[in-house]
Structure 1
Amino acid sequence: MTDHGDRTSVTRHHDQTNAVELLDEVPLSEAEAEYVEAARAANTLRGYRSDWAEFTGWCTSHGDLHVLPAAASTITGYLSDLAKAGAKVGTMSRRLSAIKFVHQLQDLPDPTANARVVAVWEGIRRTHGAPPNQSAPLMPPELFDVLAACPTTKMWKTKGRAPEPDLAGHRDKALLLVGFVAALRRSELAALRIEDIADHPNGLVLALPRSKTNQTGEHIELVVLPRAGNADRCPVTALHRWLEVAGAPTDGPAFRPVGKSNTALPRALHPESINTLIQRAVARAGIDPTHYSAHSLRAGFITYAHLRGATDRAIAHQTRHQSLATLGGYVRIHNAWTDNAATTLGL
């Protein structure tokens, strides 16, 4: 770790990201430290830590520039270098957020609000802005192929060991169907707990105490899982079957890792591992997984529901989008082919 004298240093030689690390020589009580840690999601803090370390490294390599407080010219020089190097606008925006966050923790003025920084940043966005990369929607009929490719029986090479239900296959099938029908984010799939799942005459109701748009838990968001006519494609059946083969737990994480011995481990899946599981499931079906991720399930629900005639308001009721305009980004590619004269040219 490089220490820049009296300036804040946030890189530490341990694995966990800690919001308190972003504070240097600021006395906090134990209770205060816990609340500072809770002020941002763990993934956000991990990103801020990485971004701040990258910024301080750039300052060191450019004449040991002062980082706290950072001068407007330092930030604009940093942004200009990033832009010229081909950094994405989204990446630069996150770096600015990290710089702002650290200054706020030190009770310093926000340098990113300086007129010089604002002007340069606006110019970069206009010059280098591009639509964000979106995950391909995973929906029928491809979704059905992916579900069919999930293994249900575990065969052992060990002599005398009888076949068993393939826990990973059953988990993946439940993960795919719940993620698609409930239109959940990967963080919500990872955080889903068994005690938050309630029976209903029409299926199941998932109570989400927190989400991306409800980070403080001021209200519980409800998502429904209706029963499907086809048992092989029913999220309720798949979830019940997974929990059954996992040992029928009554509380704790709904989706768990599966060990090499074909047993469910007593911890939740990490959100990032859900991306990997989805891509592996897609690859098992013989589909190139490059453009798929956990978000493909949520995107697939929105796109498929739209194609089936659901209104934006009905879709938002399940996805919990606060802005109906946001839904348009998911379906614009498919809408481009609807009632388009280019498809009738007969060439």
Structure 2
Amino acid sequence: MNEQPLRDSLPPRRPARSSTVAADTDAVQLLEDVPLTDVEAGYVDAARAANTMRGYRSDWREFTAWCAGRGVPPLPAAPATVTGYLTDLAHAGAKVGTMSRRLSALKFVHQLRNLPDPTRNARVVAVWEGIRRTHGAPPEQSAPLMPPELFDVVEACPPTKVWKTKGRVAEPDLAGARDRALLLVGFVAALRRSELAALRVEDIEEHANGLVLTLPRSKTNQTGESTELVVLPRASNPDRCPVTALQRWMSLAGVVEGPVFRGVGKNNRATDKALHPESINTLVQAAITRAGMDANTYSAHSLRAGFVTYAHLRGASDRAIAHQTRHRSLATLGTYVRVQQAWTDNAATLLGL
């Protein structure tokens, strides 16, 4: 059996009889005997976030490859197949979170084919619970990036592009200006990398105190039924001001509409395409490395984690922090500041030893 991508494992979709909308290659058919129009297929694709669908496709490819190596059908997956797969993953050292997502992918594919969900089988549930109890561990979190290290990273962003070509004068380094804005905006606005990648000029409004960012969608607001607002206040120090950095980047790059954060070519010119969320992760780690720091424990999420941790250390309340981060649960904030909180009002520090 050959390895199949997610879309190839789903029922074939016949083209609509009449539609002006181009067919989306990720569209799926939920009902065997009722073909979806192109418009309907687009809505089916929109039912899951793009990152989720990419993860499901990757997980399904991995599962079908595992099944092919053992000569068992992946669809419908027998309970023994699922438990064998989970057992192999666990023995290979896979994290519980990774295995949980793989199960979600299996469930999703079977639902699309109107097949029984194998993850609800009693055998699968029992093995999965045992794996969680045996191999469960706190999720690894990115180290928070906050002042003063954050400022060191920002200052390490190259301000000037020096050309090796004879006669070509130096000019402002566009990538450096973008990275500076990316770091400061990501930190102060406490944005996720997906939100930084999706930010558009049309989402930015000026305010007497700085800027207001409108997020039509986010991880906790995927349907867009409510609008989330994030403030970007001006800083007293222009070298550390997210508003100044953002406006300078947009001015230098000629960004007047569309995606805010874009790629920069070797010619020191901005492209028209928005950065991919994973590219933002790479850029943040590269900026940290430029500052002479070990980037292995950091990621793009370090900016958001850094905001929460630093705001807590500065005396901000959990509710005030959640107002900016848009966390729906105040308890979630505790995962960011657990190390600092462990020392707060703790009797072990009063023993006088």
For residue 181 of structure 2, the aligned residue among 174, 180, 197 is 174
Q: CA deviation at 1:50?
A: 1.5
Q: 2: distance between equivalents of 1:95 and 1:276?
A: 25
1:13 corresponding residue in structure 2: none
Residue 36 (structure 1) aligned to one of 30, 44, 64 = 44
Q: Deviations over 1:212-255 (max 9, x none)?
A: 011111111100001111111111111011111112x3211011
* Higher mean C-alpha deviation, range 81-90 or range 331-340: 331-340
Query: Which residue of 116, 125, 134 corresponds with 1:127?
Result: 134
Contact 1:9 1:24 in 2 (8 A): no
SS in 2 for 1:265: strand
User: Counterpart of 1:225 in 2: which secondary structure?
Assistant: strand
1:113 aligns with 2:115: no
Q: 1:50 to 1:21 in 2, by over 3 A?
A: farther
- Taking only aligned residues, the RMSD between alpha carbons, in angstroms, comes to 2.1
Return the letter of the residue paired with 1:9: S
Decide which moves more: 95-104 or 24-33. Answer: 24-33
CA 22–158 in structure 1, closer or farther in 2 if over 3 Å, else same: farther
Does the alignment pair 1:55 with 2:63? yes
Separation (CA, whole Å) in 1 of partners of 2:143 and 2:153: 14
User: Does residue 259 of structure 1 match 2:248?
Assistant: no
The structural deviation recorded for 1:45 is 1.3
Q: Unpaired runs of 5+ in structure 1?
A: 11-16
Identity %: 75
**TM-score, normalised relative to structure 1:** 0.91
Aligned amino acid, residue 60 of structure 1: A
After superposing the two structures, state which structure 1 stretch, 251-260 or 329-338, moved more.
Answer: 329-338
**So what's the TM-score if we normalise by structure 2?**
0.90
Which amino acid counterpart does residue 136 of structure 1 have in structure 2? A
The residue that corresponds to 2:312 in the other structure is 306
Which runs of structure 1 show a deviation greater than 4 angstroms over 4 or more consecutive aligned residues?
Answer: 21-26, 339-347
- Cα distance in 2 for partners of 1:22, 1:231 equals 54
User: What is aligned with 2:251?
Assistant: 244
In structure 2, the residue corresponding to 1:222 is in which secondary structure?
Answer: strand
Does the 8 A contact of 1:255 with 1:268 survive in 2?
A: yes
The offset of 1:193, in angstroms, is 0.2
Q: Deviations over 1:130-176 (max 9, x none)?
A: 11110010000100101111111111111111111111111000000
How many matched pairs? 336
Classify the secondary structure of the residue corresponding to 1:281: helix
Structure 1 residues 18 and 336: CA distance shift in structure 2, 3 A: farther
Partners of 1:24 and 1:288 in 2: CA distance: 51
Shift of 1:283: 0.7
Provide the residue aligned with 2:330 in structure 1.
324
Residue 207 of structure 1 aligns to a residue whose secondary structure is strand
Deviations 1:36-69 (A, max 9, x none): 222212221121111112212222222x223222
| Structure 2 gap segments, 5+ residues each | 11-23
